[in-house]
Structure 1
Amino acid sequence: MKHPFIQAVHHIAIICSDYNKSKHFYTQILNLEIINETYREERDSYKLDLALNNNYVIELFSFPHPPMRVSRPEARGLRHLAFGVPDLDKAVAHLQAHHVVTECIRIDELTHKRFTFFADPDDLPLEFYEL
């Protein structure tokens, strides 16, 4: 059934503590494409627009001294960001080759699909879910 007014998820905004480290992670390790990078002098802030398969997906922000946010265990709010991957073993090997620690591969009890969790440089929980 078509939704009456929401067409799609437009983007996900992420605030990082170390812009260069997070930019490297999302562009060089996860291989997201840079659409646009803007430095906003009045806010002392970078905004990096990233795409996945030519679709705008993530806004990566830097701000001076952003407050910490509890994300685990099972804290209220956004739980994690999941990326669909065609070959989970290959995706995990890619992360591990870049020294990104992954959890053991698990199987979704409802769909019987395989998945694993890992974290970005600010410990934001991310997931690879096998399509």
Structure 2
Amino acid sequence: MKLNKIHHIAIICSDYKRSKNFYVNILGLEVLKETYREERNSYKLDLMAGGEYQIELFSFPDSPERLSYPEAQGLRHLAFEVDHIEEAVSELDANSIQAEPIRIDPVTGKKFTFFHDPDRLPLELYEK
């Protein structure tokens, strides 16, 4: 099998309006398409980061909560590349989003930090 690239990442949120605001207005992802699926009472929001990777943000009524933190089994986190991590963390702070202290990756020497989306999904900023 030859995989070309990651096509998309799907996220199910508990509060569509809150999560849409977070990913679009705070993180700055570009909206490609927003679809309301009446038969499912559900939204699907297609988002782009840096013109490449697509995130699908879903809302479903009464979806169960998932326990998630960076060291749990399963998908560990979703990481976004940034040019200047201190500036990005300042933007998070300005939006009352707390990030962990910035750390240095011992293998690459690059700066990184973790924070959470509105549903506590672990997200990472990784400096280019």
With normalisation by structure 1, the TM-score equals 0.94
Answer whether contact 1:49 1:56 (CA < 8 A) is retained. Answer: no
Answer whether contact 1:103 1:117 (CA < 8 A) is retained. Answer: yes
For structure 1, the residue ranges without an aligned partner over 5 or more in a row are none
1:118 is aligned to 2:115:
yes
Partners of 1:73 and 1:11 in 2: how far apart?
Answer: 20
Partners of 1:122 and 1:27 in 2: how far apart?
Answer: 15
1:62 is aligned to 2:62:
no
Aligned letter for 1:47? Answer: K
Task: Detail structure 1 runs of 4+ shifted over 3 Å in the superposition.
Answer: none
Equivalent positions of 1:14-33 (< 5 A) are 14-33=11-30
Task: Give identity over the alignment, percent.
Answer: 60
C-alpha displacement of 1:73: 5.8
Deviations along 1:37-79, one digit per CA (max 9) or x if unpaired, are 0000101100000012222410000000111111126211000
With normalisation by structure 2, the TM-score equals 0.96
Paired residues, what number? Answer: 128
Equivalent positions of 1:1-131 (< 5 A) are 5-72=2-69, 74-131=71-128
Answer whether contact 2:80 2:126 (CA < 8 A) is retained. Answer: yes
Q: Secondary structure at the match of 2:24?
A: helix
For structure 2, the residue ranges without an aligned partner over 5 or more in a row are none
